Structure 1
Amino acid sequence: MKLAFTTLACPGWSLEEIVKEAAECGFDGVDFRGTDQGLDITLQEQFLGGIAGTRRLIEDHGLVTSGVSSSISLCDASKLEENVEEAKRTIEVATGLGARQVRTFGNGDTSVDRSERLAVAKRCMDEIYALDGADKIDWLLELHDIWISSEDCNAMLDAVGRDRLGILWDIGHSTRIGSEPFEETYAAMGDSIPCVHLKDAVYQPDQEFAMKDGWRYVLPGKGELPITDAVRFLKDKEFDGWYVFEHEKRWHANLEEPEEALRAYVSWIRSID
């Protein structure tokens, strides 16, 4: 199993702390979604002029960069220029780090038909693919927001081109928000999934830290989401992609500190047979 975590888990950590803790916890890779310098790593010096040293630091700790999580919103027509500019910066950073995968969002105006949102996504990916180095990146659509069901996501892949876009499967989102059994999601899109996000939650609408839909994040294996069964299912399918822990400490300050959460994730997932 290839284990990584998104750096949403540790918003207060420096690059050096991220790499050191990742290695000590037993991870194989890091998915960058910010550091203590901010959310967008493509604007940080250690990922610009200093990127060669950053890559050496990561590799010297026996790690790789599993991916870069961007804020690109493929279906948002108002952000087309911004999306392409971010993609240009992200290609340079991902290439410099030796990372293959870049996460994108779907998003888009829900007041228009899906077909219109898909047309915007195709135009956006057309412009991104015109950039130097874009064809060396695995661009991934995360199952998120309104892009949750396998039917919708397959429509996106068909519209954009399955050779140009894959799926980052957030199992918590597809099962909790989309109510789609993980077996169905995998049957519909398994060949397009090189990476999964994992997190757990409990339904406690009366609790202080519950989200708007009544769910509250907890450590993996401690909640009500079928992530243990999903991991066991993926292992049986010989899934060889990344198992990425998405501990959203940056957005939910009440969550466990990263030192505890990262070790809990490795212990939990390694125990699944």
Structure 2
Amino acid sequence: MFKVGFSTLGCPDYGVHQVAELARDSGYDGVELRFIRGVVDLAGLEEFSPARISETRKVFDDAGIAVNCIDTSVRFTSTDSAERAAQRELAKINCEIANGLGARYLRVFGGPIPKGSEPVDHAAPIAEGLGDVAEETWAQGVQTLLETHDDFSTSDKVSLILDQSSDRLGVLWDFLHSWRHGEPIDRTYANLRERIRQVHAKDSSFADADGFDLVLTGTGIAPLGELAATLITGGFDGYVDFEWEKAWHPEIEEPEVAIPHFRTAFATIVAKQWA
């Protein structure tokens, strides 16, 4: 059975202790780290320095909360050698943070491509860059996960990268993005299940290829019940993480509301699949 976590994208101004306490008090199993104290570059915070990382890990350990993934913006849409080297270095630094916290995964992106072009025309250099990162992090005990996002949201588009990249590269399935681009949930899972290690879940009152909004879990149209049924039937045992994009959309509900709400609402949705 899968475990349940949330991304700190949903509580961007929280410190480490606040994140751990919110997760513990709301009944979560783990967290993905994206923002801490309003900062997206975790490497720039003292809490994640080599001198302090063990102290930070203890905060989560003492709360009984796993850090399951470090979320980065690493991508290889640029063909500039200096930029690609910088992206590899960014992945290396975040892999060290992941190791220090006991996180198994590092999230990366395929990235948006220039308008008017096709994903197939950009997949090879992206696959090469992500493959290099995947091999490097794997050697350090961390698996790199490509999120279904941007112009690589559906399984056919993601496969353009996977088929030309390292076998070490896994997938973080953000189901809303694949679904809103017209791909049925069972098809995405069937096509990517061997690579899927984590899942992002959220609800929306409208969602199509041009955009989406965010609403409290269970109040929108996103087929979360179908997602839960697919994961249960498929024997998925990784993390399903709530991604409440508070950092990008400050007008949505506060983390104190949305994050506990997801844990309760999603548990109800899951329970209905067992009834």
TM-score, with structure 2 as normaliser: 0.90
Cα 1:72/1:134, change in 2 over 3 Å: farther
**Displacement of 1:212 after TM fit?**
10
Unaligned 5+ runs, structure 2: none
What is the match of residue 265 of structure 1? 262
**Displacement of 1:11 after TM fit?**
1.2
Whole-angstrom distance in 2 between the partners of 1:132 and 1:236: 30
Identity across aligned pairs (percent)?
Answer: 32
Q: CA RMSD in A?
A: 2.1
Structure 1 SS opposite 2:193: helix
Q: Give 2:204's match in structure 1, choosing from 201, 215, 221.
A: 201
What is the match of residue 109 of structure 1? 113
What is the match of residue 141 of structure 2? 136
**Displacement of 1:157 after TM fit?**
0.8
Structure 2 counterparts to residues 150-229 of structure 1, below 5 A: 150-161=155-166, 163-176=167-180, 178-203=181-206, 213=210, 215-229=212-226
Structure 2 counterparts to residues 56-75 of structure 1, below 5 A: 56-75=58-77
**Displacement of 1:228 after TM fit?**
2.1
Q: Give 2:234's match in structure 1, choosing from 234, 237, 243.
A: 237
**Displacement of 1:214 after TM fit?**
6.0
**Displacement of 1:221 after TM fit?**
1.1
Whole-angstrom distance in 1 between the partners of 2:137 and 2:177: 33
Structure 2 SS opposite 1:217: coil
Unaligned 5+ runs, structure 1: 205-210
Structure 2 counterparts to residues 117-132 of structure 1, below 5 A: 117-128=122-133, 131=136
Whole-angstrom distance in 1 between the partners of 2:131 and 2:212: 37
Letter in 2 for 1:51: I
In the alignment, is the contact (CA less than 8 A) between 2:32 and 2:70 conserved in 1? Answer: yes
Structure 2 SS opposite 1:195: strand
Cα 1:134/1:117, change in 2 over 3 Å: farther
In the alignment, is the contact (CA less than 8 A) between 1:10 and 1:250 conserved in 2? Answer: yes
Q: Give 1:83's match in structure 2, choosing from 83, 87, 90.
A: 87
In the alignment, is the contact (CA less than 8 A) between 2:75 and 2:130 conserved in 1? Answer: no
Whole-angstrom distance in 1 between the partners of 2:213 and 2:121: 34
Deviations 1:209-231 (A, max 9, x none): xx994632101111011122211
Cα 1:258/1:115, change in 2 over 3 Å: same
What is the match of residue 9 of structure 1? 10
Letter in 1 for 2:6: F
In the alignment, is the contact (CA less than 8 A) between 2:189 and 2:230 conserved in 1? Answer: no
Between 248-257 and 70-79, report the one with greater CA deviation.
70-79
Letter in 2 for 1:2: K
Cα 1:55/1:225, change in 2 over 3 Å: same
Number of residue pairs aligned between Structure 1 and Structure 2? 265
Letter in 2 for 1:35: I
In the alignment, is the contact (CA less than 8 A) between 1:129 and 1:135 conserved in 2? Answer: no
Deviations 1:105-160 (A, max 9, x none): 00153355544422212331354357476452111110101001211111211111
Whole-angstrom distance in 2 between the partners of 1:149 and 1:51: 36
TM-score, with structure 1 as normaliser: 0.90
